[in-house]
Structure 1
Amino acid sequence: MGNKIEKNRLDQTVIDKLMEETGLEREVIIAWRKQFLMACPSGKMNRKNFYKFYRTLRVESDEKVKEIANFVFTAFDRDSNGKIDFNEFLCGYAITSLGTMRQKLDYVFALYDKDKNNSIDRKEMIRVISAMYDLLGKPKKDYPPERCVEDVFSLIDVNNDHTLTKDEFIDGVLKNPYLSDIISPFNE
């Protein structure tokens, strides 16, 4: 039992690194760590555990949260091992909540790039935008996800190859800030 407590304790080096990467204070990191370990004592969350934890952070209905939680899990799982450790969670959370627009867009890109091939196609973007519409309770008939995606691609697919690289995506949204309201679930 003592070993488990020691195993789950953060040493000062890790805390210092997380403070640097997230901009969060030591006490905030420790508080998040406690909450994370209460939700997942092993220190690693699989998709199912993440959904349960993510659900506690959202007020929307289960069905609205489930699909977007799937996309967020994929974005937070930076090493693609099917589990999110505390560092991945906290860095993802801090960036998507407190980061610069460029940092947030980097995560949004990962959210859309479902197959992790370093580009986004229309199909990937339609799936995420549809899920966000559901999450936000936005009627799809007013501005269908397919039309939204066509508009986004016509503005930022610089080389017209029907895919968006990370640079095209981030630079395009930064040059057209109103797009971030349409395509990012991490806006204030």
Structure 2
Amino acid sequence: MGNAKSLISKSKLRKLCPKTLAELRTNADVDFTPEEIEEWFREYHSKLDKGRSKLTVKEFKEVYNSVFTGDPTSFVEQLFRCFDTNGDGFVDFKEFIVGLCVSASDQLDKKLEWAFKMYDIDGNGTISKEEMTSIFKAIFKMTNARDTGELGSAEEMCNNIFDTFDLNRDGQISFDEFRQGAMNDKTIVNLLECDPDPEI
């Protein structure tokens, strides 16, 4: 998605309700300007099937298919879960904007809370090795990153993270452990930004 401009004529798209714009502008998680919100509104509606007002996971996948060279299916299903905060199976425009802002936030605490939610697939408040490995594999598949080399396989990366993050050695990573570990090792956050090796 990035900052891509919609090719659809602005006149053919619905206008953003002033009330919705005001609500988004007063949301502490939203740091877009009114102009940026309006632009994202046009982009959001350009991805919707005719007659729909909310994104389905299918439409979410189509957006990511146009951005990444690999297969984003598995990753996008997890990303969609994080954006769909009310769990209704759709991402409305408010959820979309808040999700964009939080996932790309410069505020580390916000970004870490979002990243933790992404890795905690079953929502039980901890991250298991299976959950972390699943996310790593999805990111590798989406970005066509090799599952070998300096970073190692998804399983090896997961084991390395657990060796560092799982302070009480219970086989789960709590949010406190996640936060403390991620403050010292940015790999896990870089991965969610789809940049498995930002040094390259």
TM-score (structure 1 length as normaliser): 0.83
- Cα deviation digits, residues 121-180 of structure 1 (max 9, x gap): 000100110111222322213201111111101101121111111221122111223443
Match of 1:86 among 93, 104, 113: 93
Number of aligned residues = 179
Counterparts of 1:141 and 1:32 in 2: how far apart (Å)? 37
SS of the residue 1:64 aligns to: coil
Structure with greater proportional helix content? 1
Q: Tell whether the 8 Å contact from 2:143 to 2:194 is kept in structure 1 after alignment.
A: no
Q: Tell whether the 8 Å contact from 1:47 to 1:70 is kept in structure 2 after alignment.
A: yes
CA shift, 1:39, in A, is 1.9
What is residue 144 of structure 1 aligned with on the other side?
Answer: 153
Unmatched tracts of structure 1, length 5 or more: none
Q: CA RMSD in A?
A: 2.4
Counterparts of 1:99 and 1:10 in 2: how far apart (Å)? 27
Counterparts of 2:24 and 2:147 in 1: how far apart (Å)? 44
Counterparts of 2:24 and 2:84 in 1: how far apart (Å)? 20
Counterparts of 1:85 and 1:167 in 2: how far apart (Å)? 30
What amino acid sits opposite 1:120 in the alignment? I
What is residue 62 of structure 2 aligned with on the other side?
Answer: 52
Counterparts of 2:35 and 2:92 in 1: how far apart (Å)? 19
Q: Tell whether the 8 Å contact from 1:77 to 1:83 is kept in structure 2 after alignment.
A: yes
Q: Tell whether the 8 Å contact from 1:104 to 1:186 is kept in structure 2 after alignment.
A: no
CA shift, 1:21, in A, is 2.5
The answer to whether 1:156 aligns with 2:156 is no
Counterparts of 2:117 and 2:194 in 1: how far apart (Å)? 12
What is residue 104 of structure 1 aligned with on the other side?
Answer: 111
What amino acid sits opposite 2:81 in the alignment? T
Counterparts of 2:131 and 2:84 in 1: how far apart (Å)? 18
- Cα deviation digits, residues 30-78 of structure 1 (max 9, x gap): 111122123225332121122123334x1x23x5222221121111112
TM-score (structure 2 length as normaliser): 0.78
What amino acid sits opposite 1:113 in the alignment? D
Match of 2:43 among 35, 49, 60: 35
Overall identity of the aligned pairs, in %: 20
What is residue 176 of structure 1 aligned with on the other side?
Answer: 185
Match of 1:16 among 25, 31, 36: 25
Unmatched tracts of structure 2, length 5 or more: 1-12
The answer to whether 1:127 aligns with 2:134 is yes
